[in-house]
């Protein structure tokens, strides 16, 4: 369990003018809310993922915030624009890595819960399914996955986490 019950239920809105003045020491890839480094994300991904009007999409570089407890999913390089989880069409794996019904592989529709419930053999089959799909050119990570990149690393990480949890439980 985490202590998310103690977090404010509404994301904290930053006054734009006040925020702009703080940009001095900020790195362009630093999330304006959690201060962790984001990963560059294709503009096409932001457009595909936004649940709000694309009139808000600017011709600028966007980054993806991977911090679990940070409400920001995308932010502009200048840090003045953020898109929060409830402004994105998909639930984001990095924000809810323990939620059974959240996708870890968005292209081939594998959820965290499916991987959790799977035997080691089925987990291998899930990895094979994803690899076969990638090799067949059937994935569209830039349009389907909120991180705008391949999910395989996340799937392996989830499998490792569940294996580790099982080991601990068996001790």
Tell the smallest beta-carbon distance from residue 13 to Zn ion (Å). 14
For residue 150, what are its two tokens?
């391949």
Measured from the CB atom, the residue of 84 and 130 that comes closer to Zn ion is 84
Measured from the CB atom, the residue of 72 and 85 that comes closer to Zn ion is 72
Distance CA 24, CA 100 (A): 41
Contacting Zn ion within 16-45 (CB under 5 A): 31, 33-34
Measured from the CB atom, the residue of 61 and 114 that comes closer to Zn ion is 61
Tell the smallest beta-carbon distance from residue 24 to Zn ion (Å). 19
Tell the smallest beta-carbon distance from residue 66 to Zn ion (Å). 8
Contacting Zn ion within 69-128 (CB under 5 A): 70, 72
Contacting Zn ion within 43-72 (CB under 5 A): 65, 67, 70, 72
Reduced 3-state DSSP string for the chain: CCCHHHCCCCCCCCCHHHHHHHHHHCCCCECCCCCCECEEECHHHHHHHECCCHHHCCCCCEEECCCCCCCEEEEECCCCCEEEHHHECCCCHHHCCCCCCCEEECCCCEEHHHHHHCCHHHHHHHHHHHHHHHHCCCCCHHHHCCCCCCCHHHHHHHHHHHHHHHHHHHC
Distance CA 24, CA 14 (A): 16
Tell whether residue 14 is a contact of Zn ion (CB under 5 A).
no
Tell the smallest beta-carbon distance from residue 70 to Zn ion (Å). 3
- Contacts with Zn ion: how many residues (CB under 5 A)? 7
Tell the smallest beta-carbon distance from residue 140 to Zn ion (Å). 25
Contacting Zn ion within 126-145 (CB under 5 A): none
| Residue ranges binding Zn ion (CB under 5 A) | 31, 33-34, 65, 67, 70, 72
């Amino acid at each position: 369990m985490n202590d998310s019950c103690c977090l404010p239920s509404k994301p904290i809105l930053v006054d734009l003018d006040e925020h702009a003045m703080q940009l001095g020491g900020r790195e362009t890839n630093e999330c304006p809310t959690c201060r962790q480094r984001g990963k560059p994300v294709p503009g096409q991904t932001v457009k595909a993922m936004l649940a709000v009007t694309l009139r808000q999409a600017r011709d600028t570089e966007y980054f993806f915030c991977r911090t679990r407890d940070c409400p920001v999913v995308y932010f502009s390089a200048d840090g003045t624009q953020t898109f929060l989880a409830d402004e994105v069409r998909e639930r984001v794996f990095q924000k809810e890595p323990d939620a059974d019904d959240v996708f870890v592989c968005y292209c081939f529709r594998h959820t965290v819960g499916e991987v959790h419930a799977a035997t080691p053999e089925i987990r291998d089959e899930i990895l094979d399914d994803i690899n076969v799909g990638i090799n067949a050119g059937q994935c569209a990570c830039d349009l389907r996955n909120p991180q705008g990149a391949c999910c395989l690393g996340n799937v392996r990480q989830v499998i490792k986490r569940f294996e580790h949890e099982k080991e601990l439980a068996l001790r």
